[in-house]
């Protein structure tokens, strides 16, 4: 009897370890998707980020989907809020962001959990500084070469392109711009109903060309057959002054101000529509222009989110990654 019991236990142990090994094999074939967002400290920005996460999870229900914030400053602020009881009582939904990490740490956590195929999809608008740095991080990780191939940390670690595309051989960024323009139909219709020009405030960039905003403005005007769409930026060209001058020359008397940003955060609520005299709203109003503020980020627009979903599919197909 004891001998029989011993045999049974041995068989169970063998099956247990075999099952464990099989599970590990399955784990190594799973795909994780990292949504790399600049981030926001503004409480109302939750709605944009959480909607992107929701839509991507809906599109890829069998894959792991996590967020990372590319901004060091924003992550630092969130980590400090762990100890702010008043803030947490006021915004209980903020708990999801208290431990948010950067792309490097997020990728490392996933790799440690057994994910060896990881897609990093930026929610950035265009190929600027933040996207450049993100690509640099991923390139650094992909430069790791272990002596034995089986110990390589990743099977595939790839980066999707931003909303307005990038200069890569397979995808013409002009086509990405056309798709993005069509995603903003509701904004154009809203401004039309208000008999107002549509003025977008983009973030822009100090170190990279922001000419893509001018191209995007041109495409929006072409698609919607109007010259009453303007795009300006917080940093770079076209500036607020450039945008205001162009609107004045066009005889604009009423505008809808809207952020051309994924999240309607600090820039949208303060720089764009704040009460300070140097806000976009105040500046337009001083010239006699009526202003309607539409403080909703692109992350609330499912047509825009679908751009990121398609870019995830594209980079997966290009790299032989099967998404379930």
Q: What confidence score (pLDDT) does residue 170 get?
A: 85
148-152, 175-179, 281-285: segment of lowest average pLDDT: 148-152
63 known member of a binding site? no
pLDDT tens for 201-231 read 999 888 777 889 999 999 999 999 999 999 9
158-172, 185-199, 289-303: segment of lowest average pLDDT: 158-172
Question: Among 292, 303, 231, which Cα is nearest to 55's?
Answer: 303
1-10, 59-68, 195-204, 242-251: segment of lowest average pLDDT: 1-10
What would the mean pLDDT of 64-77 be, rounded to a whole number?
94
Band of pLDDT at residue 151, cut at 50, 70 and 90: very high
Taking each helix axis as running N to C, give the angle between helix 211-224 and helix 185-193, from 0 to 180 degrees, rounded to the nearest 10.
Answer: 70
φ, ψ for residue 36, nearest 5 deg: -90, 105
Q: How far apart are CA 232 and CA 223, in angstroms?
A: 19
Cα–Cα–Cα angle for 224, 229, 231, rounded to 5 degrees: 130
CB 40 within 8 A of CB 75: no
Band of pLDDT at residue 4, cut at 50, 70 and 90: very low
CB 304 within 8 A of CB 183: yes
Torsion of Cα atoms, 7 then 13 then 15 then 17, to 10°: -150
Q: What confidence score (pLDDT) does residue 46 get?
A: 81
What would the mean pLDDT of 14-33 be, rounded to a whole number?
57
203 known member of a binding site? yes
Domain range annotation of the chain: 29-174+302-318, 184-299
For the domain 29-174+302-318, what is the CATH code? 3.40.50.1400
Same fold, 29-174+302-318 and 184-299: yes
Residue 270 DSSP symbol: I
Active site residues: 203
Q: Is the pLDDT of residue 17 over 50?
A: no
Fold designation for 184-299: Rossmann fold (3.40.50)
Q: Could you count the other beta carbons within 10 Å of the beta carbon of residue 282?
A: 14
Q: Is the pLDDT of residue 15 over 50?
A: no
Q: Would you state the structure tokens that stand for residue 307, as one six-digit string? A: 């751009």
Strand, helix or coil for residue 272: helix
Residue 275 DSSP symbol: S
CB 130 within 8 A of CB 123: no
What would the mean pLDDT of 35-50 be, rounded to a whole number?
88
Q: How far apart are CA 117 and CA 108, in angstroms?
A: 12
Specify the pTM.
Answer: 0.89
Q: Is the pLDDT of residue 22 over 60?
A: no
Q: How far apart are CA 195 and CA 61, in angstroms?
A: 42
Q: Is the pLDDT of residue 44 over 80?
A: no
Band of pLDDT at residue 121, cut at 50, 70 and 90: very high
Q: Is the pLDDT of residue 20 over 50?
A: no
Q: What is the distance, to the nearest Å, from the Cα of residue 156 to the centroid of all Cα atoms in its chain?
A: 21
Q: What confidence score (pLDDT) does residue 91 get?
A: 86
Question: Among 107, 155, 110, 115, which Cα is nearest to 135's?
Answer: 107
pLDDT tens for 245-272 read 999 999 999 999 999 999 998 899 999 9
φ, ψ for residue 67, nearest 5 deg: -105, 150
Q: What confidence score (pLDDT) does residue 92 get?
A: 84
pLDDT tens for 274-292 read 999 999 999 999 999 999 9
267 known member of a binding site? yes
Mean pLDDT estimate for the chain: 90
Q: What confidence score (pLDDT) does residue 19 get?
A: 46
Q: What confidence score (pLDDT) does residue 115 get?
A: 97
């Amino acid at each position: 009897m004891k001998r029989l019991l011993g045999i049974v236990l041995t068989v169970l142990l063998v099956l247990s370890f075999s099952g464990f090994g099989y599970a590990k094999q399955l784990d190594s074939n799973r795909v994780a998707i990292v949504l790399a967002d600049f981030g926001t400290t503004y409480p109302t920005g939750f709605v944009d980020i959480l909607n992107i996460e929701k839509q991507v999870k809906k599109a890829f229900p069998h894959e792991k989907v996590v967020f990372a914030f590319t901004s060091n400053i924003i992550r630092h602020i969130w980590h400090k809020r762990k100890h702010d009881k008043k803030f947490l009582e006021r915004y209980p939904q903020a708990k999801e962001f208290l431990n948010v990490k950067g792309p490097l740490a997020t990728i490392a956590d996933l790799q440690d959990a057994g994910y060896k195929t990881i897609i990093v999809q930026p929610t950035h608008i265009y190929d600027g500084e933040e996207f450049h740095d993100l690509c640099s991080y991923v390139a650094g990780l992909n430069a790791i070469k272990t002596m034995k191939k089986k110990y390589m940390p990743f099977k595939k670690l790839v980066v999707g392109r931003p909303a307005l595309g990038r200069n890569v051989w397979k995808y013409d960024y002009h086509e990405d711009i056309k798709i993005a323009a069509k995603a903003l139909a509701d904004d154009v219709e809203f401004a039309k109903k208000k008999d107002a020009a549509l003025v977008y405030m983009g973030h822009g960039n100090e170190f990279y060309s922001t000419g893509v905003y001018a191209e995007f403005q041109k495409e929006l005007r072409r698609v919607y057959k109007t010259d009453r769409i303007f795009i300006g930026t917080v940093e770079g060209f076209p500036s607020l002054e450039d945008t205001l001058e162009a609107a004045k020359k066009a005889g604009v008397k009423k505008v809808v101000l809207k952020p051309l940003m994924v999240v309607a955060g600090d820039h949208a609520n303060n720089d764009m529509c704040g009460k300070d005299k140097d806000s976009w709203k105040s500046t337009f109003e001083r010239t006699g222009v009526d202003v309607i503020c539409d403080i909703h980020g692109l992350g609330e627009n499912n047509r825009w989110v679908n751009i990121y979903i398609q870019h995830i599919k594209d980079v997966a197909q290009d790299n032989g990654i099967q998404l379930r």
